[in-house]
Amino acid sequence: MIRRVVLAVAAVIAVVGPTSSAVAATVTVSPTGAITTIQGGIDAAVAGDTVLVKAGTYRENVTISAKAGLVLKAKGKVILDARPNGATGSGSAITIASSDTVVVEGFTIQHAASDGMGDLGRGVISTGSIGVTVRKCTFIDCADFAVQITGVSARVDNCKVLGGGGGVNVIGNGFSVTKTTVREVDDDGIRVNGLLGLVQSCTIAGTSAGQGIHLTGQGCVVEKCLVTRTTSEGLLVSNDGNLVQKNVFRDIEDQGINALSADQTQVLSNTITGTLNEAILIDGADAIVQKNKLSEFGTAGIAVEGSTFTITQNTVSSGGVNTTGISVSTATGGGTIEKNSISDVRDGGIVVEATAGMTQVTKNVVQRCGTTNSSGIRVAGNAVVVDGNKVKDGVGDGIAISSDSVLVQNNVVTNNGLDGIDVDSIGADGTQLVANSVTGNGAEGIENNGVNTVCTNNVAKNNRTDVGNDGMFLTFTGNVFLTGGSGFVPEID
């Protein structure tokens, strides 16, 4: 019985194999051959065939319709110029319609321009076809997007876009745009919208009116890309659940990464240098911002305007005038700022705004941050925990508190220009100062202007004055102040 089954399967393979191979054929196009136009080769082919185009310049606009599985492949240097009438625009260079799994490979496609009747002039446009692949093509000065594909499982791989209206625009689930370079375009470098897509190892250099990458899909990954010289965001994310990792952004005239109304965004291990505004801006819930390297930003290294965030293990440095290392606001539900390294930022290392209560600020290193009007860490939100941070060598206060029910504990605050820890008189009620070490600061080690302040087990030494009190202590026990106080009369109720 087993022998009969094996023989039957072998018989099926013998019949089906040659029949399938026989269906596919190669149609050759050549400037001097029997078929001299690309459209002529496509018309002569059937579904599944390969149209092999030999070297030369072809001035035409071509359409692939109802020919699933067709492979349109260049052999040698093949230029498809979408201006058959000279300088007159005639629409897109290649149009794909109702043809799944078509492959376009190896062409130089140039000068696609609007025909004035609705075709805006793309290099390759496909609508409604599944699994279209464009690879190893170069696009030069196409009026609209060089590649525009609407359909699932689209692939754009190892292409170049040089000038023109835009780079790559893909709409559909399961897309991938890989190893593609876009230079000096007007609109977005790469625009993608769909579920579970991938943008990987791409380079975008120069957009005059668009984002480097614009992602409106969900569950997508953008990784290992280089984006530089954009007039808008390096990357704009405007949907939920996306992962942005291991990218490099340089010389961006807006945010490096902007997650706009986007929940559950993960921003991991990116390098961002030289942004006009924030290096990373998060507007959405449940974001994770981790292990990024940020420098030379315009307003903030990381700015969060969402809730339940995690900001951890980032390196933030060298901001310009009026810049903040990490700024958190409107963070309903709180979040975590942990184990970040922040240095040389002018307007505060970490700022927790009044609307960002219940935030945990722990184990960060903040150095050489702030001015005489700002602090290494400034807290204006209620019920914030500031725990285990090192704050040193700033111009202004090390840690400044201007809100209620803040816990400041286990911090090491050294060599700042003004107070080590300043509990402000504006809105600071019920601050707890516990087990902090405050050393070598230019004014008071601990300055209390708040009410109901709890001060226990702190050590202050070698400050200009170790403690100053113009407010009211609720508890004052176990502290060690080695150089005395100024106007210090504890008030204990």
Residue 239's pLDDT band (cuts 50, 70, 90) = very high
**Both tokens assigned to 395:** 């111009």
The residue type at 230: T
- The CB density around residue 406, as the number of other CB atoms within 10 Å, is 29
Which distant-in-sequence residues (6+ apart) come within 8 Å of 355 by Cβ? 329, 330, 331, 381
Class of residue 123 by CB neighbours under 10 A (exposed 0-12, middle 13-18, buried 19+): buried
The beta strand positions in 201-353, using DSSP E, are 203-207, 213-215, 221-223, 226-230, 235-237, 243-245, 248-252, 257-260, 266-268, 271-275, 280-283, 288-290, 293-295, 300-304, 310-312, 315-317, 324-328, 336-338, 341-343, 350-352
Distance CA 406, CA 52 (A): 72
CB atoms within 10 A of CB 317: 19
| Domain boundaries, given as residue ranges, for the chain | 25-209
Q: How much of the chain exceeds pLDDT 90, in percent? A: 81
Band of residue 353 on the pLDDT scale cut at 50, 70, 90:
confident
**At residue 13, does pLDDT exceed 60?**
no
pLDDT tens digits for 43-90? Answer: 999 999 999 999 999 999 999 999 999 999 999 999 999 988 766 668
Query: What does 89-137 look like in DSSP terms, one character per residue?
Result: --B-SEEEES-TT-EEES-EEE--B--SSS----SEEEES-SS-EEES-
**Which of the listed ranges 1-5, 316-320, 349-353, 485-489 does the model predict with the highest average pLDDT?**
349-353
- What is the sign, positive or negative, of the torsion defined by CA atoms of 243, 235, 159, 128? positive
Residue with tokens 């969402």: 306
φ, ψ (nearest 5 deg) of residue 6:
-60, -45
Cα–Cα distances in angstroms (integers) from residue 203 to residues 63, 159, 233, in the given order: 29, 10, 15
Distances (CA, A) of 287 to 305, 394, 416, 491: 10, 29, 32, 43
**CA pair distance 474, 188, nearest whole angstrom:** 58
Query: For residue range 198-216, what is the model confidence (pLDDT) as tens digits?
Result: 999 999 999 999 999 999 9
Q: Which residue has the tokens 């929940």?
A: 263
Q: What is the pTM of this model?
A: 0.91
Two tokens, residue 228 = 């530089």
Question: At a CB cut-off of 8 Å and minimum separation 6, what does 261 contact?
Answer: 238, 283, 284
Neighbours of 28 (CB within 10 A): 15
Interval 100-124: pLDDT, tens: 999 999 999 999 998 888 888 999 9
| Cα dihedral 253, 254, 255, 259 sign | negative
425 or 22, higher pLDDT: 425
367-402 pLDDT, tens digit each: 999 887 889 999 998 889 999 999 999 999 999 999
CA distance 43 to 218: 39
Give the number of residues written for the chain.
Answer: 493
Give pLDDT, residue 57: 97
3-state SS track over 369-390:
CCCCCCEEEEECCCCCEEECCE
Q: Read off the pLDDT of residues 294-347 as tens digits, 9 standing for 90 and up.
A: 999 999 999 999 888 999 999 999 877 779 999 998 766 789 999 999 999 988
What would the two tokens of residue 301 be? 């290294």
C-alpha span between 137 and 118 (Å, rounded):
25
Read out DSSP for 17-35? HHHHHHH--EEEE-TTSS-
User: How many Å apart are CA 185 and CA 122, to the nearest integer?
Assistant: 13
CA 145 to the chain's CA centroid: 22
Residue 219 and residue 193 in contact, taking contact as beta carbons nearer than 8 Å: no
Type and span of the H or E element at 14? helix 2-23
Among the four given CATH numbers 2.160.20.10, 2.70.70.10, 3.30.530.20, 3.50.50.60, the one describing domain 25-209: 2.160.20.10
